[in-house]
Amino acid sequence: MDIKDPNLFNQVFNERGALLAIFGALGGLVRSAALKTTWREGLRVTFIGSATAFGVGVLSPYLVQWWIGDLPEGISSTALGTLCAAAFIVGLVAVTMIERFLDGKTLTEEG
């Protein structure tokens, strides 16, 4: 009888988490390329996008729902494609959201 030992490390850092981190990093890379940042700023933005998308995890479709709207019928919020697309969006806007949060501004404020 082969019983797998439940390992918290393996449950947290699994393939889905790696995909979310990769797509979050891609979102950060797109942001840094679009803004033509320096390589250091690009590395910072990429790391923040990756870490935020990984940390948010499967909640990302719900967090970006204000921007993308309701999910169409038949698309599960836990489907891998939906999660990866939402992780990309989280990686794309993570730095802006975090910087505005630290400055005490809301997303709708100007300036």
Q: Is the pLDDT of residue 109 over 60?
A: no
Q: Which structural domain, as residue segments, surrounds residue 72?
A: 16-101
Confidence of residue 3 (pLDDT cuts 50, 70, 90): low
pTM of the model: 0.72
Q: Is the pLDDT of residue 30 over 70?
A: yes
Look over the chain and give the mean of its residue pLDDT values, rounded to a whole number: 77
In a domain, 32, yes or no: yes
CA nearest neighbour of 92 among 62, 55, 59, 52: 52
Mean pLDDT over residues 59-69, rounded? 74
In a domain, 83, yes or no: yes
9 residue type, one letter: F
In a domain, 68, yes or no: yes
- Specify the number of domains making up the chain: 1
pLDDT greater at residue 77 or residue 55: 55
- Give CA–CA dist 109/100, Å, rounded: 9
